[in-house]
């Protein structure tokens, strides 16, 4: 699909999803009115968890570029995640990753091809870590409350199986002009680079799992802020489902899709579809507000401390 086609598709999806959300909010005015009554303490706590989420993302970026002998300090990694988080809410189809690639190329000489390779290789690890986390939380929920949602567990088990097969079976693909096959070939090349270091793989997966917990923690806080009776474990489990919306963004910030997933997850875990949607709206509001408020400031500070780019990694 061409860039123009992507923009048209994204714009159409945004209009469709946002229109549906407005209509749904109008039909549940009493519940959505609670958004105006959220106390400042909850907003501050949600903002703090947003920073924690980006810190975890920064640690993953550090590990990935470290494979190419690039030293990315923790402070710079966090600033990079905050600065590029704006793009994720303004540009569809993982715009934040494009912005990050441009920065790493300019400041550290990190080749685009290497960035794409490790980015695509990280996706199977994301799926596996999130699915395993979801299964573990489902088991905890069963032993604590006797609650089991077979559709959720089945989804995670299928995902674990497919991902494990992809990572286990050695496959080599020739260079091709087909974008899908070329992306798959890059992912396999990246996996070959990662698979030799089991400690690195474990660290990356633990960081992804930790991100799921933080997202679930945000949802739990949002449920509490809106006086919705949701317990911690169900909120954490919904957080693992919500995390899947981060993997691809056909609309800026997965607008509409994230709310739908939170609604479905809340419905399956007997909290309520509308309650899940309004909770996701609160989380999105805080995250987007932080990205648009702090992102430009951090971008300016990073621009002021410009340094000459280093030689390309691997040269």
Average pLDDT, integer, range 28-52: 88
CA 57 to CA 49: how far, in whole Å? 12
CA 295 to CA 288: how far, in whole Å? 10
pLDDT of residue 42: 95
Is pLDDT of 27 > 80? no
Range of the domain at 125: 39-304
Of 64, 67, 21, nearest to 254 by C-alpha is: 21
Is pLDDT of 312 > 50? no
pLDDT of residue 45: 96
Structure tokens at 114: 């290497």
Question: Tens digits of per-residue pLDDT, 113-158?
Answer: 788 778 777 888 888 999 999 999 999 998 887 877 888 889 899 9
* Angle between helix 95-108 and 74-90 (nearest 10): 140
Question: Tens digits of per-residue pLDDT, 268-277?
Answer: 898 989 899 9
* Window from 15-19, 31-35, 98-102 with minimum mean pLDDT: 15-19
* Window from 47-51, 109-113, 166-170, 291-295 with minimum mean pLDDT: 166-170
In a domain, residue 315? The reply is no
In a domain, residue 30? The reply is no
Q: What are phi and psi of 250, to 5 degrees?
A: -65, -20
Average pLDDT, integer, range 183-187: 64
Are the CB atoms for 107 and 84 separated by under 8 Å? no
Residues in the chain: 315
Beta carbons within 8 Å of 16's beta carbon, 6+ residues apart: 256
pLDDT of residue 174: 59
Alpha-carbon torsion (291, 296, 302, 308), positive or negative: positive
Average pLDDT, integer, range 26-43: 81
CA angle in degrees (0–180, nearest 5) for 312-126-112: 20
CA 173 to CA 182: how far, in whole Å? 8
pLDDT of residue 308: 45
Are the CB atoms for 133 and 240 separated by under 8 Å? yes
Is pLDDT of 49 > 90? yes
Q: What is the pTM of this model?
A: 0.81
Higher pLDDT, 249 or 228: 228
In a domain, residue 309? The reply is no
Is pLDDT of 18 > 70? no
In a domain, residue 16? The reply is no
In a domain, residue 34? The reply is no
Q: Which long-range contacts (CB under 8 A, 24 or more apart) does 15-23 make?
A: 16/256, 17/251, 17/255, 17/256, 17/257, 17/259, 17/260, 18/255, 18/256, 20/256, 21/256, 21/259, 21/277, 21/281
Instruction: Determine what percent of the chain is predicted with pLDDT higher than 90.
Output: 33
In a domain, residue 186? The reply is yes
Is pLDDT of 55 > 70? yes
In a domain, residue 212? The reply is yes
pLDDT of residue 60: 93
In a domain, residue 46? The reply is yes
Q: Which of 22-31, 212-221, 280-289 ranks highest by mean pLDDT? A: 212-221
Tally of domains in the chain: 1
């Amino acid at each position: 699909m061409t860039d123009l086609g992507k923009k048209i598709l994204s714009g159409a999806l945004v209009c469709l999803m946002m229109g549906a959300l407005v209509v749904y909010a109008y039909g549940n005015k009493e519940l959505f009115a609670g958004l105006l009554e959220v106390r400042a303490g909850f907003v501050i706590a949600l903002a703090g968890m947003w920073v924690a989420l980006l810190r975890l993302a920064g640690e993953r970026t550090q590990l990935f570029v470290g494979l190419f002998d690039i030293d990315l300090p923790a402070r710079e990694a966090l600033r990079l995640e905050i600065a590029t988080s704006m793009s994720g809410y303004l540009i569809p189809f993982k715009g934040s990753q494009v912005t990050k690639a441009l920065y790493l190329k300019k400041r550290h000489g990190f080749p685009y091809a290497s960035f794409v390779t490790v980015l695509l290789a990280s996706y199977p690890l994301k799926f596996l870590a999130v699915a395993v986390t979801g299964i573990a939380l489902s088991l905890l929920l069963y032993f604590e409350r006797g609650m089991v949602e077979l559709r959720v567990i089945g989804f995670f088990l299928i995902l674990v199986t497919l991902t494990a097969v992809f990572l286990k079976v050695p496959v080599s693909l020739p260079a091709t002009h087909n974008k899908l096959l070329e992306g798959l070939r890059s992912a396999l090349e990246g996996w070959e680079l990662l698979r030799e270091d089991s400690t690195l793989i474990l660290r990356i997966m633990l960081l992804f799992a930790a991100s799921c917990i933080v997202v679930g923690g945000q949802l739990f806080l949002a449920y509490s802020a809106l006086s919705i009776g949701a317990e911690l474990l169900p909120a954490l489990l919904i957080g693992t489902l919500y995390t899947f919306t981060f993997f691809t963004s056909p609309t800026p910030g997965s607008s509409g899709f994230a709310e739908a997933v939170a609604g479905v997850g809340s419905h399956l875990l007997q909290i309520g579809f509308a309650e899940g949607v309004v909770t996701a709206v609160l989380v999105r509001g805080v995250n987007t507000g932080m990205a648009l408020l702090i992102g430009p400031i951090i971008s300016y500070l990073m621009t002021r401390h410009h340094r000459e780019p280093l030689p390309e990694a691997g040269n």
